Structure 1
Amino acid sequence: MTVRDLPPVGELTEQQQRGWSCVWCRTALTVGEDMDLGEKRARPEGGAAYSWFPRACSDAAACAARETGKMP
């Protein structure tokens, strides 16, 4: 797997922050067809820190194609 920087948490949907959808392509994820990217901590300016749980598609090539809109 290629290491990628995570998008800023403030730009993600609730589904992406909770690990229900891919952090990059927004596809809904199912158990066994996803990759856990580990618990992350966010510290918003002027707010309380919280945990978020990014996950990604296990098929990186398909994810990248969906993200760029270049599905065959």
Structure 2
Amino acid sequence: MMKAIYSLRYYLEKRGFYVSSRLADRLGMRAKSVRLFFIYVSFATLGVGFAVYLTLAFLLKLKDLVNTKRSSVFDL
């Protein structure tokens, strides 16, 4: 059972949106603490924390797409 939990955690950390890690880097905290904060806020506010997390993921992805530097015109 624990192996399945660890493999799920590894998968989500590897292929996730990196919202928690990027926010933790900016705030100077551990990513695990930020993830726990989002989990607790989601339970306390009946899902609003999850909506905030998805909004941050969308905005970070959008920022990455806008700030991507292209080396030539043909990379469009």
With structure 2 as the length reference, what TM-score do the two structures score?
0.24
**Bigger Cα Rg:** 2
Structure number having the greater strand percentage: 1
Structure number having the greater helix percentage: 2
With structure 1 as the length reference, what TM-score do the two structures score?
0.24
